[in-house]
Amino acid sequence: MRIRPTLRSTTALSLAMLGAPLWAQQPAKPAAEQEEGKPQEIVVTALRRSESLQRVPAAVSAITAEQLSKAGIQSLGDVSTRTPSFVIGQQGPASPDMSIRGIGSTDRDAGSDRSVVVFLDEVYAGRAGGIPPDLFDLERVEVLRGPQGTLYGKNAVGGAVNLISRKPTHKASASGELTVGTDSLVEAKGAAGGSLAENLAGRLAFSSKSRGPMYENRFLNAESDNYKLNAVRGQLRWTPSDAWDVTLSADQSRDKVDGISTFVNPKTDALLAIGFDPGSDGFISYNNVLGFMDREISGVHLRVEREFNAGTLTALTGWRSLDLAETRDLAGVPLRPIAAGIRGFESTQIMTEQSTSVSQELRFTSKRRGSWSYITGVYYQQEDTDRVEERKRQLNTAVSRPVFTQGAQTTSHAVFGQATWQANPAMAITVGGRYTRDERDFALKVTNPFGLASLSPATQLFDVTANQSWSAFTPKATVDLTLAPDAMGYLTVGRGFKSGGFQGLAATAAAARTPFNPEFATSHELGLKSRWLNRRLTLNASAFMTDFTDLQFRQRILTIPNDQASAIVVVANAGTARIKGAEVEAGWAPSKWQNYTLAYSYLDTLITSFNATPGVANVNGLELARSPRHTVNAAVDLSMPVGAYVLGGRVDYRYRSSFWFEPSTDLALFERGYGLVDARVSLAAAGSKWSVELWGRNLTDQRYRTFAQAIGFATAGVSAATSRTGDPRTVGVTLRWSM
């Protein structure tokens, strides 16, 4: 149901990459002037101005285009395993569950938002299904950890991810690659760009991918989870003078999955009692339907920059669109005909979603004048989402099939500013804040088009509308100190918030009208960024403590007592939590032929108070979801000349300690620690445009889950859970060419 616009619509030690304050910055040397073998300077825009990563007083991880290629990073899931405190689960291709430093969410109803925000070329991509499925032709990826309320706005309560595409230049360039691998994997990528006129440059890039079936459905006797993707991005850049820089970009992607499979574990006596033995193979399912996903994402962005003597005025206009259809089995327990009727449990979701978002940001970034510099701006966004969910449920012979028609229009206004004062040659103080006001119009209608006796998981038919607004001020203050020519420390206190919302699958009209409130995170962070051994060794770290209040907690409740088929997940403000942790990122490049990297994070989360409601387990004293105590990523990247060729090799090891998919004591939602090993070997003629690479991912064929949700059928307090398995071992070869 489309809602029409109304007139109202209008504290941490970071041994990671730290650097000197703005006054001490020196321009990065051109590549040709860099000393042989030394890592090149990485320039980021994490704080909305271009500066060296090592001089940004914040916990930021940056992965360059070269690093993306060498590590075989193709998705945000791959990025998360190389970034401290960043975890992504995957219910399905269009359902990523992102968490940074223990703060995340799995909400995807029309009336709710996410806790980690993704930006494509600084344009907000809010819906879970609207995140680009493939990372191609990017200049870099930036991950900001911790609340980012001042410069990034609402919903960046856990952190923010910036995807920065390659920009057009007047220099002619072209590249391409072709990959084939196991499971019938075929990938092709390419890009070309250059001068189109005296002041006009363009760039066009594409990505295409197909992969064969991953699951075997033994209930339906079919293979499933074939994947296909096609994506394209085009850009025009007009520079009529030194003062103007105008970039227009458009992107579109279409991906499909034939089958979205899950498996059930652990095996419980309650499952065996209905004649179902799920086995132990994570790629064998017994889903009642194969399911599918069909998604189209589109976007148009216009960026206009005008240089003045005092600084740069930037106008950023964005339009994003999502069209998604998905059907999947939410339980994975098969229905089995028997003489007296039908036994088993089916819970099928049939969903469509259309969402559009229009945003406008206008900001001014000053040059340093005396001891001062600043950023100030205004922001506007309107997002319209229509989502229809049909829930087909059957327990034995009882059947229900209600339809939840959701509509939401969210309008957001914000004004923000941040100023830096160079107090003395060794110390800079930055203070900023953002005031945000959100207004959400929401509609939910529950219908019974099939005329069945049960409405489960709803308990009544209704058609309601509601409206609520929220406002918040999110300040930030940072003190950074130059400790040595290549070492900087910082202390930051910042606040972020996630907007309030409405239940998309409310059981009653009263529940549909009742909003839940925003959640807030206040973080204290102490960091260090340093380089040693003539800048060949980079050592960055952060330590932090976060107070999490008005926690939006997903609660599984039974709308009908003792009836598992009536289970519904709702969101409520359920209490407070505290988060403590530390992160380290290190890189050592002793020569041009060797590069060693290590990233480690320690995370300690605790729910300190919980407002328990009837029928909901009290999780006070438990850990937050998707918060492993330890994560490690280590990589060795070596190369050497062999005659007229260059031989390269890389090994990545990624480890994640045990964690819970939800705050719980139910062992079905507990995931044991696991490690993954990737490796690559490449060969290229010295100075050649061609290279060939043999690679393998998850070489030990480790079985691990990316998602788990309890579905009942408990034995001795342990439920069965519907789960999804991470990708198995994959081996392939890639041929690359560039000019």
pLDDT tens readout for residues 367-403: 988 899 999 999 999 999 999 999 998 887 789 999 9
Is the pTM higher than 0.85? yes
Where would I find the H helices in 627-679? none
The tens digit of pLDDT for each residue in 560-591 reads 666 655 666 778 888 899 999 999 999 999 99
Dist CA 268 CA 459 (whole Å): 29
465 within 8 A of 182, measured Cβ to Cβ: no
**What CATH code is carried by the domain that includes residue 243?**
2.40.170.20
pLDDT attached to residue 562:
63
Residue 318 has pLDDT above 90, yes or no: yes
Residue 1 counted as domain residue: no
The DSSP bridge partners found for residue 43 are 52
Q: 405 by DSSP, 3-state: which?
A: strand
pLDDT attached to residue 36:
54
The tens digit of pLDDT for each residue in 300-315 reads 999 999 999 999 999 9
Residue 243 counted as domain residue: yes
Residue 7 counted as domain residue: no
The tens digit of pLDDT for each residue in 713-727 reads 888 879 999 999 999
DSSP H or E segment with residue 40: none
pLDDT tier, 612 (very low <50, low <70, confident <90, very high otherwise): confident
Residue 680 counted as domain residue: yes
pLDDT attached to residue 155:
87
CA 451 to chain CA centroid, nearest Å: 40
Per the structure, how many domains does the chain have?
A: 1
Residue 221 has pLDDT above 70, yes or no: yes
Residue 512 counted as domain residue: yes
Residue 254 counted as domain residue: yes
Residue 418 counted as domain residue: yes
Residues in contact with 474: Cβ distance below 8 Å, sequence separation at least 6, in sequence order:
147, 149, 150, 433, 434, 436, 494, 495, 496, 497
Residues in contact with 395: Cβ distance below 8 Å, sequence separation at least 6, in sequence order:
345, 563, 564, 565
Average pLDDT on 151-163 reads: 92
Residue 340 has pLDDT above 70, yes or no: no
Residue 3 counted as domain residue: no
Question: Considering the chain, what percentage of its residues have pLDDT values greater than 90?
Answer: 78
The tens digit of pLDDT for each residue in 521-538 reads 999 999 999 999 999 999
180 within 8 A of 186, measured Cβ to Cβ: yes
Question: Which domain, by its residues, includes 112?
Answer: 14-290+302-338+346-738
pLDDT tier, 8 (very low <50, low <70, confident <90, very high otherwise): very low
pLDDT tier, 38 (very low <50, low <70, confident <90, very high otherwise): low
The total of other beta-carbon atoms located within 10 Å of residue 628's CB is 22
Residue 468 has pLDDT above 50, yes or no: yes
pLDDT tier, 319 (very low <50, low <70, confident <90, very high otherwise): very high
What does pLDDT average to over the chain?
A: 90
Strand segments (E) across 611-673: 630-642, 645-656, 659-660, 670-671
pLDDT tier, 630 (very low <50, low <70, confident <90, very high otherwise): very high
